[in-house]
Amino acid sequence: MTDSLVDSPRLAAIAGPTTSLTTHILDLALGRPAVGVEIRLERHDPPDWSLVCTGVTGSDGRITTWSAPVGPGTYRLVADSGAYFEATSRPTFYPEITIQIRLESLPHYHVPILLSPYSYSTYLGS
């Protein structure tokens, strides 16, 4: 597995200044990084959402490298938590986690996800 996101032609269409975006998922029930969680990054182009790229969390639970920078706009991270919990033989109340974010002028955004089978939390990290 890799901790980078696979690019798509959609990235080339994003114009303007660039910023970096990273994320990681911590499995609070097990007290360790959530390895192997697939995450889609989608961009809001009203009225639709367009797939920018996908990635899988690495051994440290992180996706730190994008195949290309992203620009300002509204995005959503969609994590396949159901497949992760199924792979670890645990039931979950949240089979998919969707986090909508707005990227503006900061040079870097970090969006951690704290996960357990029956809850999750997120915040703007550093």
Provide the annotated binding site for substrate: 24, 62, 123
Binding site residue list: 24, 62, 123
Answer for the pair 50, 74: CB distance below 8 angstroms, yes or no.
no
Beta-carbon contacts of residue 100 (< 8 Å; ≥ 6 apart)? 44, 74, 75, 76
Please give the C-alpha separations between residue 123 and each of 26, 57, 77, 89, in angstroms, as whole numbers.
13, 18, 13, 27
